[in-house]
Amino acid sequence: MSSRLDTDYKSCGQISSRGLRNQSTHTQLLKMMLCLQKTIEDYVVQLKTQHPQQGLAAGGAKAQGQARGLTLDSFHFQGIVNLGVSENKLCTDLMIERDFGISGFHFGALYTQNKKVISAISTLGVFHSVSGIAQYKLRQLLHDREWIDKVFLPTNRSRLQAAHKYITNELKALKIPFLSRGSGLYIWMNLKKYLDPCTYEQEELLHRRFLDNKLMLGSGKAFMCKEPGWFRLVFADKPFLLKIAMHRFSQVLEQKQEQTEKQLKDALRD
C-alpha cells in the first residue's frame, strides 16, 4: 500500500487535517464519506461497471483490456446484458476485501436498478455502516492508481494464473472433470463418480470427509446446484498451501474409492 496512506486530505475535497480537527465529528465523517463516494465512483468507472450497458455488455479486445486485473487468460469477454438478462434483475457488487485480498476489511458496493433491492439494502444499511477510519484508509488505497495498475493488478493476476494452472493440472491428473473459466478465484469440479448413490446425502457425507481432513470445500447443495456431486474449490492461496490441500484432497478420494470397492466386494460375497 502506498506511503501516502497517512498523508493529509488535501486531494480529497481540499480538506486539510488541521481544518478537520476544528470541525465536529459528524461534519468530518460527512466530508470523508463524500470524498470516499467520489473515489469509489472513479474506481468503479475504471473497472467498467458503472452501467451494465456500458461496461458488462462490452466485448472483444476492448473489454479484454478493461478486465485485465480480473482475468486469468486471454478470452472474448461476453457481458451478461448481451445474454438477454433484464437490467432490473441484474445486481453488480464490489467487495474490497475479496478484490484486494484484505480479509476482514468489510466494505462493499452494490449497483442495481431494482427498486425493491435498493429498498431492502437501504433498510439494512443502518446496521452495517462503515467506520470513518476504514473509509479514509480505503479512499487512500483506491486513490493510489499507479500502485494498483503497475504493482497490485499484474502481481495478483500472475499469482492467480500460477495457482489456477497448478490446480487444474492436478485435477486433470486425477481425471476429475471441472468447469474451466477465464476468471474468478475458484473452480467448480464434479465428484459425482465418488458418490454411491449420487444423492445430496452422499454429497454431504463426502463434504464431511473433506472437513475431517481439514479441507474447506463448498458443496454444490449449499449453492443450490441442480444436481449432486459438484464442489467449489478456491485456489487463491499460497503455492505451498495448495500443495498440502491437494495432497489431502487426493487422500480423501482414495479412501472413499477404497471404501466403495470394499463395500462392493462385500455385497458380491453376500
Q: Which CATH superfamily is domain 157-269 in?
A: Aspartate Aminotransferase, domain 1 (3.90.1150.10)
Q: What's the pLDDT score for residue 152?
A: 92
pLDDT number for residue 18 = 39
Rounded to the nearest 10 degrees, the angle between the axes of helix 239-269 and helix 153-173 is 20
5 to 117, 146, 221: CA distances (angstroms):
34, 14, 42
Residue 160 Cα distances to 73, 92, 235, 251, angstroms: 10, 22, 8, 25
pLDDT of 96 reads 85
Q: Is pLDDT larger for residue 249 or for residue 184? A: 249
pLDDT of residue 121: 84
Q: What percent of the chain has pLDDT over 70?
A: 70
Higher pLDDT, 85 or 170: 170
Mean pLDDT of 105-122: 85
What is the pLDDT at residue 191? 96
Which residues partner with 95 through β-bridges? Answer: 108
Q: Which amino acid is at 45?
A: V
Domain range list for the chain: 3-143, 157-269
pLDDT in tens, 148-193: 999 999 999 999 999 999 999 999 999 999 998 877 889 999 999 9
- pLDDT of 182 reads 77
Cell numbers that stand for 88 in this block: 432490473
User: Is it the case that residue 20 has pLDDT exceeding 60?
Assistant: no
